[in-house]
């Protein structure tokens, strides 16, 4: 865990659409308070950000309407970010099925809604490949809801867990991204992992 006196970050949760409250509750459970971020001014007041799950097309539309997208693009190219599901779609370098604009901060190609109608939602035990404090050997419970599939991960992207051979939890330096919803499980290891990453970031 992070000693509170060593905690130098102000963690925001993008709160314009989607399950942002579940992320705030998840971080509260591990003793970290978060701030909702709805405007560029609020974004300027945080040092790290969570991009929640939801509907990426709707998020993009709302971001553009408020002229918030440019500030957010700069932020995700510079600061620590934890993205889940729709958030991962927003960060990707390429979005397919259908194609969609994205911030290109995470070197992956994602296919939206890739599991089809039958498998739209699933709760699966997922083996992680990372050993250590945050993700010890026990499988993670992964909640998939109309999830994207990471069909390509660049050389700088570390895959920490897979489903059917495809990455579902990835790290690229200061960015952690999941195609599932760790905030909807009781298990807080993925949130703890992000806090560990954050502790190493200026
Ligand atoms: N299917 C959604 C999208 O394309 C993502 C779903 C989610 O975040 N649970 O944006």
List pLDDT tens digits, range 182-197.
999 998 989 999 999 9
Q: Is 159 helix (H, G, I), strand (E, B) or coil?
A: strand
Q: Measure 168 CA to ligand 1 centroid, in angstroms.
A: 14
DSSP result, 29-97 = HTT--EEEE-SHHHHTT-SEEEE-SS-HHHHHHHHHHTT-HHHHHHHHTTS-EEEETHHHHHHEEEEET
On the question of pLDDT at 129 being above 80, the answer is: no
Q: How far apart are CA 97 and CA 78, in angstroms?
A: 28
Question: In degrees to the nearest 10, what's the CA dihedral of 53, 171, 50, 185?
Answer: 50
- pLDDT(3) > 70: no
The DSSP H or E segment spanning 172 is strand 166-172
Nearest-atom index, ligand 1, CA of 87 = 8
Q: Which atom belonging to ligand 1 lies closest to the Cα atom of 52? A: 8
Q: Check pocket membership of 89 for ligand 1, CB cut-off 6 A.
A: yes
Residue with tokens 């799950």: 53
What pLDDT was estimated at residue 1? 46
pLDDT band at 135 (very low <50, low <70, confident <90, very high): low
- Which residues form the catalytic set? 85, 181, 183
Q: What is the pLDDT of residues 28-44, one digit of tens each?
A: 999 999 999 999 999 99
In the 3-class helix/strand/coil scheme, how is 103-142 assigned residue by residue?
CCCEEEEEECCCCCCCCCEEEEEECECCCCCCCCCCCEEE
Domain boundaries, the chain: 4-199
From 3.40.50.880, 3.20.20.140, 3.30.70.20, 3.90.1150.10, which CATH number describes the 4-199 domain? 3.40.50.880
Output the pLDDT for position 112. 96
- pLDDT tier at 202, thresholds 50, 70, 90: confident
Q: What percent of the chain has pLDDT over 90?
A: 81
């Amino acid at each position: 865990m992070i000693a509170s006196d060593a905690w130098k970050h102000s963690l925001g949760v993008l709160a314009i659409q989607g399950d942002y409250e579940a992320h705030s509750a998840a971080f509260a459970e591990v003793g970290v308070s978060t701030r909702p971020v709805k405007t560029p001014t609020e974004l300027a007041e945080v040092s790290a950000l969570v991009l929640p799950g939801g509907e990426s097309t709707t998020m993009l539309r709302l971001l553009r309407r408020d002229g918030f997208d440019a500030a957010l693009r700069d932020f995700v190219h510079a600061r620590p970010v934890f993205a889940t599901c729709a958030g991962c779609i927003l960060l990707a370098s390429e979005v397919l099925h259908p194609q969609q604009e994205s911030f290109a901060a995470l070197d992956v190609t994602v296919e939206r809604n890739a599991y089809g109608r039958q498998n739209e939602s699933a709760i699966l035990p997922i083996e992680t490949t990372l050993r250590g404090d945050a993700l010890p050997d026990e499988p993670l419970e992964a909640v998939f809801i109309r999830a994207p599939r990471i069909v390509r991960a660049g050389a700088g992207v570390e895959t920490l867990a897979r489903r059917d051979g495809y990455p579902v939890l990835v790290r690229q330096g200061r960015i952690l991204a999941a195609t599932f919803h760790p905030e909807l499980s009781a298990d807080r290891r993925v949130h703890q992992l992000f806090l560990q990453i954050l502790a190493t970031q200026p």
